Structure formats: structure tokens, C-alpha cells
Chains A and B, each alone.
Chain A
Amino acid sequence: MKQELFEQRHQSLWNELTEQLDTLEKSRFRRQELPANLPELYRQTCNHYALARGRRYSPNLVEQLHRLVLRGHQQLYTRRGGWIWRLISFIAADFPQALRRQINYFLVALVLFLLPGVLLGVFCYLDQNLIYSVMSDGEVSNMAEMYRPDNARTGRTLERSDESDFAMFGFYIYNNIGIGFRTFAMGILAGVGTVFTLIYNGVVIGAVAGYLTGLGYVSTFWSFVSGHSSLELTAIVICGASGLMLGRAVIAPGPYSRLDAIRLQAKQALPLVMGGGLMLLAAAFIEAFWSANSLPNEVKYLFGIALWILMICYFVFAGRSKEERRHGS
């Protein structure tokens, strides 16, 4: 068939497809019904593109059809709308499911974090001078200042005490979630960065807790951290687990090529970082607006324990029914 005849015959079909693509490309966020005949038009155009190339029609026409096919491909094979539902289903099911699937990485990260934490905690409790090999003098006195029993606003240093809870909220988000994200990213350096971050956090948190307990600041320190401890500590370990997954892909890709392993592991690790980020967001909220309040310590401990129990239940049970249905067991 001559090129001109070919074009005359199919031009109206290409025009229709172009029009549909023009409207679809305007917005990816609105949930739009795909036109019923879009797949049909697209496949026909694919066919025409292949014919035009095979018959060596003019490069111009081939290029034009290629562009049309590319645009169709992008619109047909994409997900549109439903953002809020996906977020809800992520929190309700996908995140705890992902954590249960990757429980081994979580346990390794937990050990890497907990072991140095407990060791340093005990040692710093027994020997008040040991803390100085972990932190500088200034940091230690700052820390002691924050939790001195006669400090009117626990958990804030004196210079910071006039800053409102809001400012601390902003700071916790900027700092803590950033650290969580970096813990994941550094995993691609063969996991070294992640392991370092986990151990480092364990050492610092353990040392501070041990030191302050040894000083006798029990009521101020432990009541302050009890509220957000569950979410924050667990989120650190979860972000660590996601980084370890990346590191594992680099070190031991298993049956895959290294690049494929990285891609696969990153895909599976991503829910963990996203969930960890959301947990750190919630922890920042609690730390800023609850942890420094002046309610009786019993209430604060109770709240902290309740959150620990709730969180563990969430990770053990959330999304179970959906999971079972999917695996048909």
C-alpha cells in the first residue's frame, strides 16, 4: 500500500487517539474513566506503526506514529487516582504486612541497635565517667540540664526553653525523619552506613539513658521519653532494616544479578522506610506536644506502655485477614 493511501485511511483514527491522549495527559491526579475504545485505538496504532516501519514509509510519518504509540503506552499502563485509598490501605495493611515479611531484617537491625544500647546503658549507669568517651563535655552537660528535676520544662535545654512546643515539633520532623531516610539510603553502600547508624544510635541512646538514670534523674528522663519511645525507637530499627535489605542486595544478590537484586530489594524495602517515616512523624507529634507536659508521671508511663502494646498489636495483627485471603491459606 502506498504511503498516502495508508495515511488517508487511518488519519481519523490517529486524530481520535491524539485527542483522547491530550485530555488524559492534562491530569494524573483526577480519577478519570479511560475512554472505552482507547485500548483498541492504541493497539491499532501500534499495528500501523509496525507496518509503517516495516514498509519504510517516510521517517517523518514513522516518527509521528512512534510518538503517538509512546504517549498511548504511557497513558494506558499507568495508575491514576485513588491516592487517599492507597495511603489508608498502606497504613491499615501493607506496612505491617511488609514488616512481617521482612521480620529477619528487622531482628538483625534490632540486635545491632539494642545490643550496644543495653551494654552502654549498663556501663554508663555503673560508671558515670564513661559517658565522656561517647559525647563531648558540652553535650553531656546539655543533656543533664534538659532532664534536671528542677528544670521547669523537661526535655528542653535552658536556651531552648522559651521556644514553644511547635518549634520542637518542626525540629523533630526535620531532624529525626531525615535521619530515618538517610539510614535507608546509606544501605546501598553495602549496608555499612546503615549498620553504623544503627550501632551509633544504640550507643548514644543507651549511654544517655544509663548516665541519666545513674544521676538519679529517673522521674524526669523516663517519664519524658516513655510517650514517644515506642514509635521512635521502633521506627529507627525499621528504617535500619530497610537499609540492611539494600545492603544485602549489594553484598549477596542471591539468584539475581546485582542490579536486579538491588531493584527488587529496594521495592520491598520501600514500604518499611515510608512506614518508618510516618511513625517518626507521629513520634515527633507526641514528643513535642505530650512528652513535656506536667501530668503526673503515672499517667505518662501508662500512656507510654499503652502505646507500646498498641503498636505491637498493630504490627502483629493488622492486615492479617487480607494477607490470608491473598495467599489462600
Chain B
Amino acid sequence: MERPGFSELTDTVRTHETPEGIRLQLRMAGPVVRACAWAIDALIRFVLYGLIGAMFSFFGGVGTAVMLILFFLLEWFYPVVFEITSGATPGKKAMGLVVIHDNGTPISFAASFARNLLRAADFLPFLYAAGLLSMLMNRDFKRLGDLAAGTLVVYKELPVERHPIPEVDPVRPPLELNVDEQRELIRFAERSEQLTTDRQMELASQLSSITATDPGSGVRRIWAFANWLTRGRQ
């Protein structure tokens, strides 16, 4: 978002501006991950068809009726039921995807029903060729059903893990830093935990001009700057 022109060209992140003037960032799911999700769902459905077919073939007319009605529901409403209850079918959930409206809100029955009815058209002429073509022709990877229903398939936001900045005595940076530079220092301090000591020193050595000459204390120096930037001189 800091460089909208650039990131819009290269990333699959889309923004939606809310009534509060906040820009929500949504990460679109591409054809491959969605095909994987579909394959998982297809497998589940295949097993269910088999189970239902085997179970109800022994109950005569009523059994046939229940079987056909269940087949009907599986064909048309399997995705709808999961999407309106939890936002994703088991396959999508396994791939970490979720279906939402264009405006970022959870999907409604009407939208879910519409996008899944249009599966019949997306599937044409074979194995979702029309859907794939449609996904490749617009920026949000929408298949025909998503276009008509106004829905998006996005990656589910994972809970954010906070990494505390290592606590050292705060030191004021020796020169004026602009906000982006400040942020980079803080980001480095927060990420330190996930980096090996060697990598920490390697990265810190790039700033040897404003830290110290030896890399080991350079890392601590940047932590000290980050502490000063986030907490002040105390």
C-alpha cells in the first residue's frame, strides 16, 4: 500500500475501502490453490456419493427417493451450506481459503447460491475450462460464478503473532531518520528472534556506518535504536 502503483501491478493484494475510511487488504487466491481445494471437495463428494448410494439402495422406493434427493443436495448445495456456515468448504478450509463478498463481508446465502449455480457454466466445456479462462482474464481471479455473485476467494487472515523487541537500553539514533527508515529498524528488531545470529550480524553490518564497527554489538545497537523509537528514552 505504501507504493500502490507498484504493489498493485505485482501483488495479488486488493484493497477495499470501508465506510470508516479504512483500506482493508484482501489477498486473492489463484487458480492453482483453488483447483487443489476443488479436488479435495470432489474427493469428499465422491466418497459421499458412494456411501449414500451403497446405504440407500437397500430400502426400496423410499430409499431411492432419499438417495436421489441427497444426490441433488450434494450436487447443488454442498458448497452453499459450508460457505454460509463457515465461509469455506472443507477443501477451501484445508487450503486456508475463504469466500467473501467483494466488500469483504461474509458471504450471504444469495451470493453463495448464485456463485454455485453458475458452476454449471464454469465447468463447460470440460473441467472448469470456462472458469479458468474467466479467472485468467480479470485481476481478482474470479470465475463466472464469482463475477455474477460479486464474491472473492481470498486467503484467510492468520492470527498475528507478536514478536517483542529485545529489551536493551534505548539509545537515540545518531541522525534524523525518516518514518520508513524508522520502520525498517523496528522491523529488524522484531524479526531478530526468527533469524540466526550470523544472519542478524550480516544484516546489521550494512548499517555499520551508524552503529559500531564490530557486527555483534551492531545488532545490539540497532535493538537499542528500535527501543528508543518505540518506547522513548524512559
A63 to B13, CA, bound (A): 14
Within 8 A of B (CB), among A255-302: 259, 262-263, 266-267, 270, 273-274
Given A163-B64, A164-B62, A273-B117, are A56 and B180 neighbors across the interface (CB < 8 Å)?
yes
Smallest Cβ-Cβ distance to A43: which chain B residue: B20
B64 touches A246 (CB 8 A): no
A57: chain B residues at CB < 8 Å are: 183, 186, 230
Given A28-B84, A70-B104, A178-B76, are A263 and B61 neighbors across the interface (CB < 8 Å)?
no
A164 touches B60 (CB 8 A): yes
A174 to B67, CA, bound (A): 10
Interface status of A186 (Cβ within 8 A of chain B): yes
Given A73-B18, A164-B60, are A79 and B67 neighbors across the interface (CB < 8 Å)?
no
Interface status of B121 (Cβ within 8 A of chain A): yes
A46 touches B160 (CB 8 A): no
What 1/0 mask marks residues of chain B from 48 to 65 whose CB sits below 8 Å from any chain A CB?
000000000000111011
B172: chain A residues at CB < 8 Å are: none
B120 touches A186 (CB 8 A): yes
Within 8 A of B (CB), among A110-143: none
A299 to B221, CA, bound (A): 95
A181: chain B residues at CB < 8 Å are: 76, 117, 120
A69 touches B24 (CB 8 A): yes
A288 to B107, CA, bound (A): 35
Interface status of B5 (Cβ within 8 A of chain A): no
Given A69-B24, A171-B68, A185-B121, are A60 and B157 neighbors across the interface (CB < 8 Å)?
no
Given A170-B68, A173-B72, are A55 and B179 neighbors across the interface (CB < 8 Å)?
yes
B183 touches A58 (CB 8 A): yes
A309: chain B residues at CB < 8 Å are: none
B149: chain A residues at CB < 8 Å are: 263, 266
B117 touches A64 (CB 8 A): no
What 1/0 mask marks residues of chain B from 95 to 112 whose CB sits below 8 Å from any chain A CB?
000001001111011100
Looking at chain B's contact residues, the main secondary structure is helix
Interface status of A77 (Cβ within 8 A of chain B): yes
| Number of residues of chain A lying within 8 A (CB) of chain B | 62
A165: chain B residues at CB < 8 Å are: 61
A168: chain B residues at CB < 8 Å are: 65
Interface status of B201 (Cβ within 8 A of chain A): no
B157 touches A67 (CB 8 A): yes
- Give, as a whole number of angstroms, the nearest-CB distance from B92 to chain A: 16
A263: chain B residues at CB < 8 Å are: 147-150
Interface status of A306 (Cβ within 8 A of chain B): no
Q: Of A58, A63, A78, which contacts B105 at CB under 8 A? A: A78
What 1/0 mask marks residues of chain B from 1 to 40 whose CB sits below 8 Å from any chain A CB?
1000000000000000010111011000000000000000
A29 to B105, CA, bound (A): 15
A61 to B84, CA, bound (A): 31
What 1/0 mask marks residues of chain A from 38 to 80 whose CB sits below 8 Å from any chain B CB?
0000110010011001011111110110110111011001110
B104 touches A74 (CB 8 A): yes
A60 to B230, CA, bound (A): 12
B180 touches A46 (CB 8 A): no
Interface status of B66 (Cβ within 8 A of chain A): yes
- Interchain Cβ contacts under 8 Å between A and B, 20 examples: A3-B229, A28-B85, A49-B22, A57-B186, A57-B230, A70-B104, A73-B105, A74-B100, A164-B61, A166-B64, A167-B62, A170-B65, A171-B68, A173-B69, A181-B117, A184-B117, A185-B119, A185-B120, A189-B121, A267-B110
Given contacts A63-B160, A193-B121, 9 further A-B contacts (CB under 8 A): A4-B232, A71-B157, A164-B62, A167-B60, A177-B72, A178-B72, A182-B120, A184-B117, A266-B148
Interface residues of A (CB under 8 A from B): 2-5, 28-29, 42-43, 46, 49-50, 53, 55-61, 63-64, 66-67, 69-71, 73-74, 77-79, 83, 163-171, 173-174, 177-178, 181-182, 184-186, 188-189, 193, 246, 259, 262-263, 266-267, 270, 273-274
